[in-house]
Structure 1
Amino acid sequence: MVTLVSDDGAYGGPTSVATGQLEECAARGHEATLVSLWQGRSPAPARIGAVALRTRPARSLLPGRFTGIMHPLLVRDLWRSMGQADVVHIHAGRDLVSLAALAVAALRRKRFLAQTHGMVEPRRAALVRLFDRVYVPLLRRARGCLVLTERERLALAQVIGPGGPSLLTLPNGVRPDRDGAEGHWHRDREVLFLARLHPRKRPESFVEMAALVHRRVLDARFTLYGADEGSLPAVRRLIASHGLTDIVSYGGALDHAEAVRAYAKAAVYVLPSVDEPFGMTVIEAMSAGTPVVCTDGCAIADDLARRGAAVVTDGSPSELADAVCGLLADDERRHALVSAGRRAVEETFSIHAVTDRLEEIYRRLCHIGCTE
């Protein structure tokens, strides 16, 4: 279960992770079904690859872009799907869909896993505390919670409290693109931003960086892709104020296949975000053979820096610009970064390695369910 599948990838990493995990499980012979809400210009597909997709159209029942979306008949879909399942895996945020999935799993007496993707952290707002009175006791009934990083482990432990489920580390994974790195040297001199246009992703800093790079590298071009979550007006104002209308463009939201093509043609991928729980787009770019510039606010930045797989900055436009200019000017440096990024994906962040670990967890969960 994941909250939302859409044709523009609006829900971001959790949906990408859920579909990637299930597609790999299906490739290994498991019967896989994804239950979710759907949002798009066209009807929802019946399948994503070999994965059956069971959806209902998203309806806004409460304020909040994702928090309050729901469809009453999704509860019936969850009930039926969980009844047939050996393993229930809930990609859970603080939202109505996740709450419904946790409640159905509890009522069905299913042993389930929850994966929170950094979305469940301590919050003091009154509405969150009220929501958590119902949500947290259900989350505590999970047989295990999958976390990405030590930081997420500590934050989730604060929310769940002592005596909760085991917190199991599981990185995100992508399918390695073995052709991506080979074609890197034929790419355009395009610098790419591909993420939600949300204040935490800091697309304005990307534009400020572009203005600095343009003074030094006149033929570089810059493109932003992603669903707007409030930052697009500021981005457009900055582009106009810096006189960059022919240099920086916004291409809207992309589906997964379009995103892969965007990575594959870019010379550099830049993610200026802070408090980034993981950085799924970072490993997607590395898999495509694209050099990555990120910030020390990305949860996997230290690991990537140790491997020499990304240029890690403090996130300021000046440091981002220095990193981009350095990569555009140095073929040897770009080649080293691409090679190290590719190794990091294959060794740690490939969907194959991640699903090996996930299958172990699933089998242990099934074994517990059969023997208790």
Structure 2
Amino acid sequence: MMAADTYAPDINGAARFAERFAVGLVSRGHEVHMIAPSPTGEPGRERLNGVLVHRMRSHRYPTVADFHICLPWEVTGRIKQIVHKFRPDVAHVQAHFVCGRYLAKHASDAGVPLVATNHFMPENLVGHLPLPKAAKDWVKHMAWQDLAKVYGLANYVTAPTPRATTLLEAAAGIYGAEPISCGIDGAPYEAARAASRTNKKPTILFVGRLDEEKRVDELIKAVAKLPDPEAVKLEIVGDGSCASKWRSLSDELGLSSVTTFHGFVDEEELVDLYGRADIFVMPGIAELQSLATLEAMCASTPVICANAMALPHLCQSGNNGFLFEPGKIDQLSAHILTLVSDSDLRARFGEHSRNIAEDHAIGKTLDRFEEIYATVIEG
């Protein structure tokens, strides 16, 4: 039995991982239950790709489009009932907010072995709060302390990367967490690359939420600094609180003819966009792994990433792409120009991207978690 505070049809890295992971376990013969917010607000239950999803009553989050949150007093009783009715062999929480918090509490109270995986960084939420820096720092500190309280109930803790586990130690005092990649099935992205047509102009792609910590404005400014911005095409996929501001920035910098803001797209179109891209750029500074970058790498795409958080685990500068220092627009622009100007280098870096991505195959992730489940159940 799992709990996630964001799940399909939500479009973000944590939701996509939780769905792929749950469906992957179903494909191996496990009965998987998922406790998650309702996308409509109304509680219910549905079978989704083999996963029995228990939808909790939810409310639209005021500053993030298409994101729902649950209120503790509306869900804790129902989660307790679900735990006692189905008596899972193991519980696995993907977040510590509400659904994860109360699955952790009620599973622990019922003697159910508990595994916890952290995808959380306060920066991904605090940026939406209209608070001064000192207040935001206090909120981040309290958020980490809250996570430590919930995850302290777990028999086993994991996070997607070594950088994410060291962050748990430093910020939450949680030691001994194991780094396990979120994992990915690279086949659809590899097939999309094989089926793609050669672009008339080199295409630069970003995929992710259009929120402050993603720093997409740095990418837009870097493209504007190219000697000939009209020689490239910029594709931006996703939506968020900064979407309108960044569209205006693109227009102000004269990039309206080369930039496409796609908003949210379905899975088929997203895979196709990965297959067509010549360069993928991730300027975000709060990535505990970055599934979007990993998806691009599966499509044999060279990547340019901010030298921040866990991104250096995926982008090996000079091997499958380049790292740039956050805020250094000229440096980012120079890296883009290098790849735009050299198709052979793009092909070589892209091949290395695909090879690196193979280490993150979803099968390896499922294997390891099955071992962990067996260990905590036996323990």
Cα offset, 1:90, TM superposition? 0.2
* Alignment-derived partner of residue 301 in structure 1: 312
Listed as ranges, the matches of 1:182-331 within 5 Å are 182-183=194-195, 186-187=198-199, 189-213=202-226, 215-216=227-228, 218-228=230-240, 230-302=241-313, 304-305=315-316, 308-315=319-326, 316-331=328-343
1:239, CA displacement in angstroms? 1.3
User: 2:182 touches 2:365 (CA, 8 Å); kept in 1?
Assistant: yes
Aligned residue identity for 2:36: S
Change (3 A) 1:282 1:42: farther
Out of 2, 5, 9, the position equivalent to 1:3 is 5
1:102 is aligned to 104
* Higher mean C-alpha displacement, 47-56 vs 74-83: 74-83
Matches within 5 A, 1:158-197: 158-161=170-173, 166-177=176-187, 178-183=190-195, 186-187=198-199, 189-197=202-210
Q: CA deviation at 1:40?
A: 5.8
- CA shift at 1:25, angstroms? 1.2
Residues of 2 paired with 1:154 and 1:192: CA distance?
Answer: 30
Taking the aligned partners of 1:2 and 1:154, their CA distance within structure 2 comes to 22
2:348 aligned residue: 336
Shift in CA distance, 243/120, structure 1 to aligned 2, threshold 3 Å: closer
Partner of 2:372: 361
Residues 67 and 134 of structure 1: CA distance in aligned 2, closer, same or farther (over 3 Å): farther
Q: 1:16–1:184: structure 2 CA closer, same or farther, 3 Å change rule?
A: same
Q: CA deviation at 1:132?
A: 6.9
Contact 1:4-1:38 within 8 A present in 2 as well:
no
Question: Which TM-score applies when normalising by structure 2?
Answer: 0.83
Tell me, yes or no, if the aligned pair for 1:191 and 1:266 is still in contact at 8 Å.
yes
Q: Is 1:142 aligned to residue 154 of structure 2? A: yes
Partner of 2:93: 90
After alignment, is 141-150 or 35-44 more displaced? 35-44
Q: 1:79: which partner in 2?
A: 80
For 2:204, the aligned partner's letter is V
- The one-letter amino acid of 2:225's match is L
Per-residue CA deviations over 1:110-154 (Å, capped at 9, x if unaligned) read 211111114379x98556666777653332110011023333223
Q: For structure 1, which segment, 261-270 or 295-304, has the greater mean C-alpha deviation from structure 2 after superposition?
A: 295-304
Question: What code does the residue aligned with 2:182 have?
Answer: N
Please report how far the alpha carbon of residue 298 of structure 1 lies from its aligned counterpart in structure 2 after TM superposition. Answer: 4.5
Taking the aligned partners of 1:282 and 1:219, their CA distance within structure 2 comes to 24
Distance (whole Å) between structure 2 residues aligned to residue 251 and residue 288 of structure 1: 19
Q: Note if contact 1:182-1:289 (Cα within 8 Å) is conserved in structure 2.
A: no
Matches of 1:242 and 1:191, distance apart in 2: 17
Q: Do the aligned partners of 1:87 and 1:111 also contact (CA within 8 Å) in 2?
A: yes
The CA deviation at 1:337 is 1.6
Q: Does the Cα contact within 8 Å between 1:59 and 1:71 map onto a contact in 2?
A: no
Answer yes or no: is the 8 Å Cα contact 1:6–1:40 preserved in 2. no
8 Å CA contact 1:180–1:288 kept in 2: the answer is yes
Residue 353 (structure 2) pairs with residue 352 (structure 1): no
Q: How many angstroms apart in 1 are the aligned matches of 2:61 and 2:243?
A: 25
Amino acid at match of 2:183: G
Task: Output the aligned Cα RMSD.
Answer: 3.2
Number of positions where the alignment pairs a residue of Structure 1 with one of Structure 2: 359
Alignment partner, residue 127 of structure 2? none
* 2:154 paired with 1:114: no
Deviations 1:60-97 (A, max 9, x none): 5899887954375543553344342112110014x233
Report the CA distance shift for 1:126/1:301 in structure 2 as closer, same or farther (over 3 A): closer
Contact 1:6 1:38 in 2 (8 A): no
1 CA distance for matches of 2:41 and 2:275? Answer: 26
CA distance in 2, matches of 1:261, 1:184: 8
Matched, 1:154 2:173: no
**Paired-residue identity, %:** 19
Conservation of the 8 A alpha-carbon contact between 2:203 and 2:277: yes
- Name 1:16's counterpart in structure 2: 16
Counterparts in 2 of 1:129 and 1:342: CA distance versus 1, 3 Å: closer
Cα 1:125–1:320 change in 2 (3 A) is closer
Q: Any idea what SS the aligned residue of 2:283 has?
A: coil
Distance 1:303 1:136, change over 3 A: closer
Tell me the residue number matched to 2:132. none
Q: How far off is 1:208 after superposition?
A: 0.6
Deviation, 1:180, is 3.6
Q: Counterparts of 1:246 and 1:306 in 2: how far apart (Å)?
A: 31
Q: Which amino acid aligns with 1:82?
A: V
- Mapped to 2, the partners of 1:158 and 1:284 lie a distance apart of 29
Q: Which amino acid aligns with 1:286?
A: M
